[in-house]
């Protein structure tokens, strides 16, 4: 074993010596190319089924719009809930704070997959109880996309409550007093003074949450197969006995989507923080 | 003339700590009251009770005819009364508390537009007049972070004035400033006093007090220990503790 270690060490020395004139970016590029070649080899080894991809790829990819729609809907709902959750947790009212604390604690304390299945399967059961008013049947029975938005929105809203709370608390107490001293009500102060400043703090982490949600949205595939991206991949993969091809395709798409949104999220974050630096650095 | 501010037997507790122990003080329209005293004597608390940033725990406060007894519960009607008082009482803080996301002129017109529903144009016109008055007309579109401390405090004064208050409360308005910036703020306050604004000022700027104050109030451990005209008080305080404090700050 020691001999192998020594050999490896010598190889490493030689590689390092030989490439010392090479810029780091080029080295990095070579590593990436190596990984790509390895992956392609793996695909050949698995005898990646191109014909299957041609036939079923479009169906699987057809889940992308719904995955995106679910995530945009989910993050919108999550932001609304997080806003109320944060205001509730910071509120002087026992009712508001109690409800907000329960919401955050309960949702964070239960698995997302349970919440999804609960909303999709358990609520309809409630609607059909003999003692339930019939209108529940129109309220508690959701199309899967709607159930998905609800579940992801409620779940992420609870986590994002802390993000929103931090954003709101980042606004100095002196400003709030100044607003009050000028005759502004609590609501006016929140709307006109606190939230516009909190947004700066809130937006970048919210972008991260959206990216995480993109991946978590795959859990919807467990409740309803054949609808969004992962559900379709899972469905066809198992049905056609090509799980490797189907899941690899889905994984690639998630990776591509998260990479694209990460790119925009970074840019947004930089722009916001640059604005901050410029403004803060300009004083005196 | 009827006093415009009436403080009667004012008490304030923070939990077990009693900070104000029965303060009574009447302020006539146009008077400038300078409040001074040791750190922790309750000066800020007194000022903050006048516009109900702190709720008194005992006694009574009246501002321009709005009379408020201390109350255990702050109900809707009381909140509305408090807002009436705050609209009559401008306040200037030690650390300015400007809104950093708004430009100078936006800082000024925010409350008139949101609270009094004035039109933007109307508020802006008055705001620019005030900025001119505090010598910052050319800074209207600047953001607060780009201003010096003295400029910030002058903007804060203009912002309070933009609500057309009847009284102004100043809590150590020059304490956070570099020494060379103190004069420009005091200058604005002096002008304001000359125009007849009723002012309650917590400050240890004895030069300003001597020149501008109609009365000085020495607060000690939550009580008014001594009050009088600046000339009398500064040179001939009756109480030993007042004298000692004055020696220290002069
Ligand atoms: N919100 C609060 N909660 C608890 N105690 C407080 C609060 N505000 C003030 N106090 C206490 O009340 C006392 C008086 O405070 P206050 O700020 O009125 O003093 P001050 O005379 O303005 O002092 P300084 O010159 O330091 O500003 C201090 O002991 C202070 O710690
Ligand atoms: Mg103070």
3-class state of residue B196 by DSSP:
coil
Distance A176 CA to ligand 1 centre (A): 18
Of all protein residues, the one whose alpha carbon is nearest to atom 22 of ligand 1 is B44
Please write the tens of the pLDDT for every residue from B79-125: 999 999 999 999 999 999 999 999 999 999 999 999 999 999 999 99
- If interface means Cβ-Cβ distance under 8 Å, which residues of chain B face chain A? 51, 53, 79, 83, 86-87, 89-91, 93, 95, 97-101, 110-111, 114-116, 143, 145-149, 156, 159-160, 163
Q: What is the DSSP letter of A277?
A: H
Inter-CA distances, B191 with A167, A169, B199, Å? 40, 37, 12
Verify whether the Cβ–Cβ distance B146 to A282 is below 8 Å: yes
Distance B38 CA to ligand 2 centre (A): 9
What is the structure's pLDDT at A56? 92
- In chain B, what percentage of residues exceed pLDDT 70? 100
What is the structure's pLDDT at A281? 32
User: What is the CATH number for B202?
Assistant: 3.40.50.300
Of A178, A184, A279, the CB nearest to B145: A279
Q: What is the DSSP letter of A123?
A: H
Residue B66 has pLDDT above 70, yes or no: yes
Low-confidence ranges of chain A (pLDDT < 70): 1-2, 274-284
Chain B residues within an 8 Å CB radius of A178: 91, 93, 97-99, 156
Chain B residues within an 8 Å CB radius of A184: 111, 114-115
Beta-carbon contacts of A214 under 8 Å, excluding residues fewer than 6 positions away, are A67, A71, A254, A257, A258, A261
Of all protein residues, the one whose alpha carbon is nearest to atom 12 of ligand 1 is B19
Of A182, A280, A282, the CB nearest to B111: A182
User: How far apart, in whole angstroms, are the C-alpha atoms of residue A66 and residue A228?
Assistant: 6
- Please name every residue paired with B219 in a beta bridge, in sequence order, or none if there are none: B224
- Please name every residue paired with B202 in a beta bridge, in sequence order, or none if there are none: B35, B171
What is the structure's pLDDT at A119? 92
3-class state of residue B118 by DSSP:
coil
Residue B21 has pLDDT above 90, yes or no: yes
- DSSP letters for B84-97: HHHHHEEEE-TT--
User: How far apart, in whole angstroms, are the C-alpha atoms of residue A174 and residue A195?
Assistant: 15
Of all protein residues, the one whose alpha carbon is nearest to atom 3 of ligand 1 is B14
Instruction: Confirm or reject: Cβ of B173 under 6 Å from ligand 1.
Output: no
What is the structure's pLDDT at B42? 96
What is the structure's pLDDT at A275? 52
3-class state of residue A46 by DSSP:
coil
Q: Structural domain of residue B134, as residue ranges?
A: 5-249
Verify whether the Cβ–Cβ distance A179 to B91 is below 8 Å: no
Q: What is the mean pLDDT of chain B?
A: 95
The mean-pLDDT minimum among A128-137, A152-161, B29-38, B159-168 falls in: A128-137
Q: Which residue has the tokens 């029975």?
A: A141
Domains in chain A, ordered, with CATH? 2-45 (no CATH), 52-273 (1.10.3720.10)
**Residue B200 exposed, middle or buried by CB count within 10 Å (0-12, 13-18, 19+):** buried
A73/chain B closest Cα distance in angstroms = 29
Question: Using an 8 Å Cβ cutoff, are B163 and B132 in contact?
Answer: no
CA angle, corner B186, sides to B180 and B188, nearest 5?
120
What is the structure's pLDDT at A254? 96
Residue B52 has pLDDT above 90, yes or no: yes
Give the N- to C-terminal CA distance of chain A in Å, as an integer: 65
What is the structure's pLDDT at B75? 86
A181 touches chain B (CB under 8 A): yes
ipTM value: 0.95
Residue B212 backbone class (left: φ over 0; alpha: ψ -120 to 50; beta: rest): alpha
Say how many domains are in chain B.
Answer: 1
- In chain B, what percentage of residues exceed pLDDT 90? 91
Instruction: Confirm or reject: Cβ of B43 under 6 Å from ligand 1.
Output: yes
What is the structure's pLDDT at A2? 60
Question: Using an 8 Å Cβ cutoff, are B146 and B114 in contact?
Answer: no
């Amino acid at each position: 074993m020691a001999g192998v270690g020594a050999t490896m060490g010598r190889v490493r020395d030689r590689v390092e010596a030989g490439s010392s004139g090479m810029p780091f970016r080029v080295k990095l590029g070579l590593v990436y190319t190596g990984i790509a070649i390895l992956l392609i080899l793996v695909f050949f080894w698995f005898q990646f089924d191109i014909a299957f991809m041609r036939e079923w790829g479009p169906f699987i990819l057809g889940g992308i719009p719904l995955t995106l729609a679910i995530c945009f809907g989910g993050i919108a709902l999550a932001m609304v809930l997080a806003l109320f959750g944060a205001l509730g947790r910071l509120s002087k009212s026992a009712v508001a704070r109690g409800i907000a604390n329960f919401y955050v604690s309960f949702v964070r304390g239960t698995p997302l997959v349970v919440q999804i299945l609960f909303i999709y399967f358990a609520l309809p059961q409630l609607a059909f109880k003999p003692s339930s008013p019939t209108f529940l049947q129109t309220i508690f029975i959701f199309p899967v996309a709607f159930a998905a938005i609800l579940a992801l929105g409620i779940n992420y809203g609870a986590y994002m409550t802390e993000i929103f709370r931090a954003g709101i608390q980042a606004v100095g107490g002196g400003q709030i007093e100044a607003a009050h001293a000028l005759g502004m009500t609590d609501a006016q102060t929140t709307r006109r003074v606190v939230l516009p400043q909190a947004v700066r703090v809130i937006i970048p982490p919210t972008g991260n949450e959206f990216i995480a949600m993109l991946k978590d949205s795959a859990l919807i595939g467990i409740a309803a197969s054949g609808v969004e991206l992962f559900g379709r991949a899972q469905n066809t993969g198992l049905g056609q006995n090509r799980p490797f091809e189907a899941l690899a395709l889905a994984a690639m798409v998630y990776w591509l989507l998260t990479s694209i949104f990460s790119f925009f999220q970074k840019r947004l974050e930089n722009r916001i923080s640059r604005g901050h630096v410029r403004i803060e650095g300009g004083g005196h | 003339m009827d006093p415009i501010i009436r403080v009667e037997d004012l008490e304030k507790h923070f939990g077990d700590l009693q900070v104000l122990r029965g303060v009574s003080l009447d302020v006539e329209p146009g008077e400038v009251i300078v409040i001074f005293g040791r750190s922790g004597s309750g000066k800020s608390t007194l000022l903050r009770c006048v516009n109900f940033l702190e709720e008194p725990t005992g006694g009574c406060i009246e501002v321009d005819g709005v009379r408020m007894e201390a109350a255990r519960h702050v109900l809707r009607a009381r909140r509305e009364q408090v807002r009436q008082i705050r609209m009559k009482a401008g306040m200037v803080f030690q650390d300015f508390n400007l809104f950093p996301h708004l430009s100078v002129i936006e800082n000024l017109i925010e409350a008139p537009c949101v609270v009094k529903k004035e039109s933007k144009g109307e508020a802006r016109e008055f705001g620019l007049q005030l900025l001119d008055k505090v010598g910052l007309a050319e800074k209207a579109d600047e953001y607060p972070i780009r201003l010096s401390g003295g400029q910030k405090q002058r903007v804060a004064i203009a912002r309070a004035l933009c609500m057309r208050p009847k009284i102004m409360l100043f809590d150590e308005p020059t304490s956070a400033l570099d020494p060379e910036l103190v004069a420009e703020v005091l200058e604005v306050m002096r002008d304001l006093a000359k125009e007849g604004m009723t002012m309650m000022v917590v400050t240890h700027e004895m030069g300003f007090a001597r020149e501008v104050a109609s009365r000085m109030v020495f607060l000690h451990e939550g009580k008014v220990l001594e009050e009088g005209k600046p000339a009398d008080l500064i040179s001939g305080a009756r109480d030993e503790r007042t004298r000692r404090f004055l020696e220290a700050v002069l």
